[in-house]
Every structure is written in structure tokens, then in C-alpha cells.
Amino acid sequence: MTDDDPIASLNDLKGRLAAGIPATKTERQHRIAKPIYRLTLDDPDDRSIILIIRTGGDGIVRATISLPEWQEMPEGWDGPHEMHVAVPLADDYAHEYGYRGIAVDIESSQLWDPAWGELEKPGEGI
């Protein structure tokens, strides 16, 4: 697998998740800290990675990843994906391109699972 092949990267991630291997387990030795997830109440700026989280008609929480317009989404990454896939994908993209935070557009902050990372709410600034 090469880092410049998004389909291989997505398939590798799905395979690791199916095998019970943590999505955060990586070959990279110098990975930056997990990105900060920031709850967005207004439209996030056009330079943000955005994780759009909604509950489907089947009751399952899924997310779509949105990137700034000048960046091309790797094929198969936009989703919607179940959260155990979407969060690691967003984390990997943030790591690869140097983003320290991810804007979160969620229908209710009550849906956020702390296992996905810390959700910073407006006014809480870290």
C-alpha cells in the first residue's frame, strides 16, 4: 500500500477495523496528536475539514467528510461512513495535510461519543 493511493488506504483501514486492529495503529512513527474536534454552530470557514454527522433513518449515526474546495477528496472517502470509519479517515486526512482541528457539524452534541475524541464547544477554547 502507498500513501498516495486513497482507495488502498481506505481498504487497508476497513480491513484493520474488521480485524479488530485499532484504526489508530499506524506504521508512522511521528504522528501528531489527535486533531481537535470543534463544534460549529455557524458555517465553518472555507479552510476547514468538516465532519458532518447525522442519524440515518435506520438510527445509525454516520458522517460525511467535507474538505476545502481547493482540495480534492480521495475517492471513496466522502461517505457517509459509520463513525468507526469516518473518524479515523478524518484523523488520517488531518494528519496527512497538517490540520490541527476538524469542524464538527452535528445535529445534536448529545450524539458525540467521547471515544471519538474530545469535542470542543464554542467558548471552551483549548
**How do residues 16-67 score in pLDDT, each as one tens digit?**
766 765 555 555 444 556 777 888 877 776 677 889 999 999 999 999 988 8
Strands 101-106 and 50-55: parallel
Residue 124 banded pLDDT, cuts 50, 70, 90: low
Is the pLDDT at 125 greater than 60, yes or no?
no
The overall pTM is greater than 0.95: no
DSSP state of 81: E
**CB burial of residue 94 (10 Å; 0-12, 13-18, 19+):** buried
